């Protein structure tokens, strides 16, 4: 086990150094760096499989560590996240070989090196189990990803996005550090194993909970701390966005699991309710904002916010069940959350990589300028479609299974909540999760339809070319995992069950006892709790085949004579359904939240009856910036302006401040 | 020990009347020599060997190297004295302020100390620190500000001597090295200041404000 772990780290380290060996030849260093990253990720897969099939282990590295030994815990929970990192890392690294070719000459060496450093730091975050080294790893991950987000600093807005990102996550880190230090000072231990036994008074325990939730919530992109996420993800190169969205924000979920499952243990019911409230706001608003985006990568970033919300719905339900002492539903809820972590990592990375190849092929991120790409890049279109089906939670792919599990666990929520209001709230939560799913489906109908179908809307889209083999290979691997995790969920569910096994308040031991290769049976009450995914897949396949068969039977297309359409003009790309048009009903229904500002401009032509060029633009108001962050910014600037007055520039005055302060301290200490 | 304390304070007060840089350096030299003596006296009283080492170091660094460096930089400076018209406050005022700080230190600190052996030395050391502040505040010549810094440092050192009968040798070594480096850097900066602004009047640094 140690061998796997150390070899993974060594491969990544090799990848970090590799640009040094071939500084002048980017093609060589490309292959070296990304090959090392692939090997490292494969070693991670080996490591997590070893943990899953065997038992967890704690490694201890004593060398030159100034703050105690470096402890590395390889248990079920780490293994699950490492598995996700291994899958996504392997695919993204293979993809990167082709994708990063366009960065030759644009600081390619630093990008390849930082990419490996990013993978390395995520591994450390997921395995190190000592407070100080964990925080160091956490900050390293933030800093490395900051440089990756800021890689293309020439493009407008990227630097701003990067600074927004690092500012938000630093504030988050402050909360995380506070949470850790309160815990570790109460048990006088820096090891994670020691933190689990912390006996805190109620108020302090709530403080730790709040700090952990805020700190990790910022990294996860929970609304309203999400503002960095839709800016930073589009700014980074696509294979990095895939890792950031797929794995990096999941490290925050990992941190929450450690805190809420291990360190703090079972808490009062309102903890779970708070998490549920944040979760439902994130999922509904995340998907709403996603629906009205035109930038493909920004749209996917908002979907990350939504999916983090869905994961947290599982987490929150789990916490409510734990507070009620219902170990079995708690296990189901946590398993649903963690399974969605894995699934989201896979299909979101697939979608980001797909967006990267669309960007690579057509040269634009704006879906209003795409269209017809299915003819130019058929393989990418198919793989993107698989990701879209998975994220829309349609059977038989992986997203369906984990959302089904989330629903199953939430159906037990009304019974667990206390009070009529609590029960009502739980029912509304379930309905809102349904709304989220429906909107996600609508959003991806828009994305796939506008991007890949119809005619090209711009010259770039008309000349789009298919992505190279390495990019397609990386995406195909992820798509295969999506299908496998959907059709045969039992294996992954067993892994997820092991991740939460043995923790207090959670009982996952008998969860899959009645399941076999065909059906997943949940031992929770009556009816509606079994799922036979292979059967579903076969049914769907049969349905598709039947449809094809009927189409064949109906014979060839016939020419039908009818009325003239569009005054006889041959339909052009400008007559197509646009993304803005498609989401108009959604904008209208959710006007109160989205606050669209419509602007219609008509340019005056000499002849008022003919050829008036009109432009239509719609702008979504971001209420979180408007209500929270802008006033906050103004307040800080106002304070800074006022504090500037005491900075007179005179050395003597500064020394005077120190002297006055010294005398005051003397006086105060004298009185005390 | 009392005598030495009084002499140290007296040297600091006289310092506030100096406008000529050359004489000011001479006085800081004398003050540091008193400090070295005080160090040796504490060594005799307590019988710690390392106090003698500290005394020797004081002589070498504060009586030797630092004044030497300050004298070295003097020829490069056109104005070897504080210019009366540019004074921030008159010499009388700065003497008054230093006396005031002695009073503050004694009234504030004296009542707190339970009758310790060095009953008067502790407030005296604090007043040395405050006089150092006054020197830096009321003078605009860079060299005078370095002298103020050394005065403060001497005060802190005296504080260490008084309270703990001297600090562990390794910490004292650290402090000496720190002061030496600080003064050397300051001397270099003073020289650069002269090159850039043609004067070492630090009130011109106001222009650097952002």
Structure tokens at A385: 């479609």
Express each pLDDT in A507-547 by its tens digit.
877 777 777 777 777 777 655 678 888 888 999 999 999 99
Out of B111, B133, B205, closest to residue A658 by CB: B133
Report ipTM for this prediction.
0.77
The per-residue pLDDT for A431 is 94
Q: How many CB pairs under 8 A join A and B?
A: 51
Query: How many Å separate Cα A671 from the centre of its chain?
Result: 55
The per-residue pLDDT for B78 is 62
In chain A, which residue's Cα lies nearest the Cα of B135?
A: A652
Q: Which residues contact A125 (CB under 8 A, 6 or more apart)?
A: A134, A137, A138, A141, A251, A254
| SS3 call for B120 | coil
Determine the average pLDDT of the residues in A308-319. 95
| Radius of gyration of chain B measured on its C-alpha atoms | 17
Determine the average pLDDT of the residues in A203-209. 92
Out of B104, B137, B209, closest to residue A652 by CB: B137
User: Across all residues in chain A, what is the average pLDDT?
Assistant: 89
Cβ contact, residue pair A666, B105, below 8 Å: yes
Please check the confidence at residue A20 and state whether its pLDDT lies above 70: yes
In chain B, which residue's Cα lies nearest the Cα of A655?
A: B137
Please check the confidence at residue A33 and state whether its pLDDT lies above 60: yes
| SS3 call for A666 | helix
The per-residue pLDDT for A558 is 79
d(CA A288, CA B81): 74
Express each pLDDT in A646-672 by its tens digit.
877 777 788 888 888 888 888 887 776
Cβ contact, residue pair B133, A662, below 8 Å: yes
Cβ contact, residue pair A655, B137, below 8 Å: yes
Q: Which of A204-213, A314-323, A385-394, A623-632 has the lowest mean pLDDT?
A: A623-632
CA-based nearest distance A66→chain B, Å: 21
**β A70-74/A530-531 pair status:** unpaired
Cβ contact, residue pair B133, A648, below 8 Å: no
The per-residue pLDDT for B136 is 83
CA-based nearest distance A645→chain B, Å: 11
Please check the confidence at residue A388 and state whether its pLDDT lies above 90: yes
Q: Which of residues 5-34 of B touch A (CB under 8 A)?
A: none
Please report residues of A whose CB lies closer than 8 A to that of B102: none
First to last CA, chain B: 48
The per-residue pLDDT for A514 is 74
- Chain A contact for B147 (CB, 8 A cutoff): no
Please report residues of A whose CB lies closer than 8 A to that of B109: 666, 670
Determine the average pLDDT of the residues in A459-467. 88
- Chain A contact for B114 (CB, 8 A cutoff): no
- A307, A340 contact by CB (below 8 A): yes
d(CA A659, CA B130): 7
- B145, B139 contact by CB (below 8 A): yes
Express each pLDDT in B125-141 by its tens digit.
888 888 888 888 887 77
- Chain A contact for B145 (CB, 8 A cutoff): yes
What are the C-alpha distances in Å from B160 to residues A256, B115, B145, B157? Answer: 49, 17, 23, 5
Please check the confidence at residue A611 and state whether its pLDDT lies above 70: no
Structure tokens at B67: 């004044």
DSSP 8-state symbol, A572: -
Out of A648, A650, A659, closest to residue B130 by CB: A659
The per-residue pLDDT for A617 is 84
Residue A107 pLDDT class (50, 70, 90 cuts): confident
d(CA A642, CA A519): 67
d(CA A245, CA A145): 11
- Chain A contact for B71 (CB, 8 A cutoff): no
CA-based nearest distance A651→chain B, Å: 7
Residues in chain B with pLDDT values less than 70:
78-89, 112-118, 165-166, 200, 202-210
Out of A651, A655, A659, closest to residue B205 by CB: A651
Segments making up each domain of chain A, as ranges: 271-548+574-594, 623-671
Residue A565 pLDDT class (50, 70, 90 cuts): confident
**For A664, how many CA atoms within 13 A lie in the half-sphere containing its CB?**
6
The per-residue pLDDT for B88 is 65
- Chain A contact for B75 (CB, 8 A cutoff): no
Q: Following CA atoms A326, A327, A333, A334 in sequence, which dihedral angle do they give, to the nearest 10 degrees?
A: 140
**For A10, how many CA atoms within 13 A lie in the half-sphere containing its CB?**
7
d(CA A490, CA A22): 45
Express each pLDDT in A420-440 by its tens digit.
888 999 999 999 999 999 999
Cβ contact, residue pair B206, A658, below 8 Å: no
Phi-psi region of B201 (alpha: psi -120 to 50; beta: other; left: phi over 0): beta
Q: Following CA atoms A468, A472, A473, A475 in sequence, which dihedral angle do they give, to the nearest 10 degrees?
A: 150
Cβ contact, residue pair A649, B206, below 8 Å: yes
Cβ contact, residue pair B104, A656, below 8 Å: no
Residue A287 pLDDT class (50, 70, 90 cuts): very high
The per-residue pLDDT for A561 is 81
Cβ contact, residue pair B203, A647, below 8 Å: no
Out of B104, B136, B205, closest to residue A663 by CB: B104
| SS3 call for A603 | coil
Cβ contact, residue pair B108, A667, below 8 Å: yes
d(CA A275, CA A315): 8
CA-based nearest distance B204→chain A, Å: 8
Determine the average pLDDT of the residues in A374-397. 92
| SS3 call for A130 | strand
Q: How many CB atoms lie within 10 A of CB A473?
A: 15
Please check the confidence at residue A234 and state whether its pLDDT lies above 60: yes
CA-based nearest distance B88→chain A, Å: 9
- A252, A341 contact by CB (below 8 A): no
d(CA A308, CA A312): 6
- Chain A contact for B108 (CB, 8 A cutoff): yes
Q: Of A237, A343, A230, which Cα lies nearest the Cα of A291?
A: A230
The per-residue pLDDT for A490 is 85
d(CA B194, CA B192): 5
The per-residue pLDDT for B117 is 58
d(CA A79, CA A101): 33
Out of B88, B109, B133, closest to residue A659 by CB: B133
Helix, strand, coil tally for chain B in percent (to 5): 80, 0, 20
Residue with tokens 């972590």: A341
The per-residue pLDDT for B41 is 86
**For A51, how many CA atoms within 13 A lie in the half-sphere containing its CB?**
30
Q: Of A435, A432, A430, which Cα lies nearest the Cα of A406?
A: A430
Residues of chain A above pLDDT 90, percent? 52
Residue with tokens 């440089």: A147
CA-based nearest distance A654→chain B, Å: 8
The per-residue pLDDT for A279 is 95
Phi-psi region of A611 (alpha: psi -120 to 50; beta: other; left: phi over 0): left
Helix (H) or strand (E) holding A584: helix A584-589
Express each pLDDT in A241-254 by its tens digit.
999 999 999 999 99
- Chain A contact for B202 (CB, 8 A cutoff): yes
- A603, A614 contact by CB (below 8 A): yes
Residues of chain A above pLDDT 70, percent? 98
């Amino acid at each position: 086990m140690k061998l796997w772990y150390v070899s993974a780290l060594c491969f990544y380290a090799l990848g970090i150094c590799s640009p040094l060996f071939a500084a002048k030849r980017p093609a060589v260093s490309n292959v070296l760096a990304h090959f090392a990253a692939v090997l490292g990720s494969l070693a991670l897969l080996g490591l997590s499989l070893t943990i899953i099939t065997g038992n967890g282990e704690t490694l201890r590295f004593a060398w030159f560590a100034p703050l105690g030994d470096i402890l590395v815990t390889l248990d079920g929970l780490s293994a699950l996240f490492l598995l996700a990192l291994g899958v996504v890392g392997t695919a993204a690294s293979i993809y990167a070989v082709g994708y990063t070719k366009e960065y030759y000459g644009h600081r390619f060496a630093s990008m390849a090196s930082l990419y490996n450093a990013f993978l390395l730091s995520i591994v450390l975050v997921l395995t190190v189990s000592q407070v100080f080294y964990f925080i160091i790893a956490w900050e390293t991950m933030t800093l490395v990803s900051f440089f990756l987000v800021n890689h293309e600093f020439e493009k407008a807005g990227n630097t701003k996005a990067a600074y927004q990102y690092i500012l938000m996550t630093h504030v988050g880190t402050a909360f995380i550090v506070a949470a850790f230090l309160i815990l570790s000072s109460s048990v006088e231990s820096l090891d994670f194993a020691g933190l689990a036994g912390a006996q805190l008074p109620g108020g302090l325990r709530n403080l730790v909970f709040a700090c952990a939730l805020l700190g990790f919530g910022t990294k996860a992109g929970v609304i309203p701390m999400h503002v960095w996420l839709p800016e930073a993800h589009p700014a980074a190169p696509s294979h990095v966005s895939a890792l950031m969205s797929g794995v990096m924000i999941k490290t925050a979920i990992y941190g929450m699991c450690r805190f809420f499952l291990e360190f703090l243990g079972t808490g009062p019911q309102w903890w779970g309710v708070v998490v549920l409230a944040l979760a439902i706001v994130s999922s509904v608003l995340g998907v709403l904002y996603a629906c009205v985006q035109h930038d493909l990568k920004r749209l996917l970033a908002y979907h990350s916010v939504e999916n983090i919300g869905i994961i947290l719905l599982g987490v929150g339900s789990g916490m409510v069940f734990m507070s009620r002492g219902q170990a079995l539903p708690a296990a189901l809820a946590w398993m649903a959350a963690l399974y969605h972590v894995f699934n989201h990592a896979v299909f979101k990375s697939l979608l980001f990589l797909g967006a990267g190849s669309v960007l690579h092929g057509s040269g634009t991120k704006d879906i209003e300028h795409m269209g017809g790409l299915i003819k130019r890049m058929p393989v990418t279109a198919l793989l993107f479609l698989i990701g879209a089906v998975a994220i829309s939670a349609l059977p038989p792919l992986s997203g369906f299974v984990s959302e089904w599990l989330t629903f199953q666990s939430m159906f037990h929520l009304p019974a667990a909540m206390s009070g009529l209001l609590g029960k009502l709230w739980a029912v509304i939560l379930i309905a809102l999760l349904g709304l989220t799913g429906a909107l996600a489906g609508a959003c991806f109908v828009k994305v796939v339809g506008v991007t890949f179908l119809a005619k090209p809307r711009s010259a770039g889209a008309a000349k789009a070319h298919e992505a190279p083999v390495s990019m397609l290979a990386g995406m195909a691997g992820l798509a295969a995992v999506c299908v496998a995790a959907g059709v045969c969920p039992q294996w992954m569910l067993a892994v997820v069950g092991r991740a939460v096994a043995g923790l207090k308040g959670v009982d996952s031991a008998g969860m899959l006892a009645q399941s076999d290769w065909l059906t997943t049976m949940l031992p929770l009450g009556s009816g509606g709790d079994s799922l036979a995914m292979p059967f579903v897949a076969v049914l769907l396949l049969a349905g598709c085949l039947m449809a094809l068969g009927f189409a064949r039977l109906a014979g060839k297309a016939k020419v039908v004579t009818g009325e003239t359409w569009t005054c006889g003009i041959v339909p052009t790309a400008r007559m197509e359904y646009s993304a803005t048009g498609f989401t108009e009903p959604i904008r209208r229904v959710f006007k109160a939240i989205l606050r669209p500002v419509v602007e219609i401009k008509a340019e005056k032509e000499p002849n008022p009856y003919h050829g008036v060029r009109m432009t239509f633009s719609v702008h979504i108001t971001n209420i979180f910036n408007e209500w929270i962050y802008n006033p906050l910014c103004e307040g800080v600037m106002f304070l800074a302006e006022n504090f500037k007055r005491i900075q007179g520039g005179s050395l003597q005055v500064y020394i005077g401040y120190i002297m006055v302060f010294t005398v005051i301290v003397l006086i105060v200490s004298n009185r005390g | 020990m009392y005598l030495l304390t009084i002499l140290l304070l007296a040297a600091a007060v006289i310092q506030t009347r100096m406008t000529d840089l050359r004489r000011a350096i001479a006085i800081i030299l004398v003050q540091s020599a008193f400090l070295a003596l005080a160090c040796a006296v504490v060594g005799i009283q307590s019988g710690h060997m390392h106090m003698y080492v500290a005394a020797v170091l004081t002589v070498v660094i504060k009586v030797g190297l630092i004044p030497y460096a300050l004298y070295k930089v003097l020829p490069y400076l056109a104005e070897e004295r504080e210019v009366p018209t540019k004074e921030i406050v008159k010499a009388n005022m700065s003497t008054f302020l230093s006396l005031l700080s002695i009073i503050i230190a004694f009234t504030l600190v004296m009542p707190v100390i339970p009758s310790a052996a060095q009953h008067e030395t502790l407030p005296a050391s604090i007043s040395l620190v405050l006089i150092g502040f006054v020197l830096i505040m009321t003078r605009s010549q860079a060299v005078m500000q370095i002298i103020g810094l050394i005065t403060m440092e001497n005060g802190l050192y005296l504080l260490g001597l008084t309270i703990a009968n001297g600090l562990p040798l390794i910490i004292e070594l650290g402090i000496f090295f720190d002061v030496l480096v600080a003064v050397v850097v300051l001397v270099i900066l003073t020289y650069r200041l002269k090159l850039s602004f043609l004067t070492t009047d630090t009130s011109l640094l106001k222009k650097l404000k952002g």
